[in-house]
Amino acid sequence: MSTPHIEAEADDFAKVVLMPGDPRRATYIAKNYLEDSRLITDVRNAVGYTGYYQETEISIMPSGMGMPSAAIYITELYRSFEVETIIRIGTAGGFGPELDLRDMVVASGCITNSRMPELLIGKSEYDLTPTPSLLTAAVDLSDETGLVLHSGTIFTSDIFYEPDVGLNARMIRDGVLCVEMETAALYAIAQVEKKQALSLVTISDHLTRGTHLSPEERQSTLDEMISFSLKVASKEAEAIG
């Protein structure tokens, strides 16, 4: 049941997939957080794993950077491997004063400068939102664990090296929390394929303060988000059976 970018059997993936951007993070999560994890695909070094988190089967598949890359993996997982739920775990650049480095953000909505959602959904007016039950699960879990979780609209950009010097101020004015490069693709494809999706990011760069996480801080922040997302994922796996 291989696809052009995923060489695996039809039943190799769990129903719930965690999706970091970086393939090395996929390996890190599989090795440090999953039991009995096995490598199920490695086309172009996009390494996918399936294993168990507290007896719940979970898969990890990296998206690569940016919407075109992410969209390929997301579409193939939903269409060809019967994946029901994809939870993105990534990093983002924060805009406003209410955000600090290391804070976690759940994308309750998403705007983008890309035409990809319009082309996929087939109209220029659309809403990009996560699956409501997943959003609720994440917000409830943050209340229980006391972890900082901001819920709000994020910006998915096609551009990392942004030339528009006025962009940050406009985003703050419009209440947009942060920028990353994959969530709009995930939410648009989930909508079209009638599947479940949620996007969680941690603030690795603060764009108006010009501050960045150190490599050590990146790692410990990532660990918090992995633990958090695995709990959301296992709750979701229980819910869909």
Minimum gap (Å) between residue 158 Cβ and ligand HPA: 10
3-state secondary structure of 65: coil
Least Cα distance to 76 among 16, 18, 1, 130 occurs for: 1
Minimum gap (Å) between residue 94 Cβ and ligand HPA: 9
Instruction: Give catalytic status of residue 205 as yes or no.
Output: yes
Cβ proximity to ligand HPA: between 44 and 160 the closer is: 160
91 binds ligand HPA (CB under 6 A): yes
Stretch near ligand HPA under the rule CB under 6 A, chosen from 34-42, 47-55, 178-186, 231-239 = 178-186
CB neighbour list of residue 21: distance below 8 Å, 6 or more residues apart: 62, 63, 64, 65, 70, 90, 91, 182
93 binds ligand HPA (CB under 6 A): yes
160 binds ligand HPA (CB under 6 A): yes
Sole binder of ligand HPA in the list 72, 74, 92, 106 (CB under 6 A): 92
Q: Are 58 and 234 in contact (CB under 8 A)?
A: yes
156 binds ligand HPA (CB under 6 A): no
Buried b (16+ CB within 10 A) or exposed e, 113-138: ebebbeebbeeeeeebbbbeebbebb
3-state secondary structure of 48: strand
180 binds ligand HPA (CB under 6 A): yes
Binding site for ligand HPA (CB under 6 A): 91-93, 157, 160, 179-181, 204-205, 207
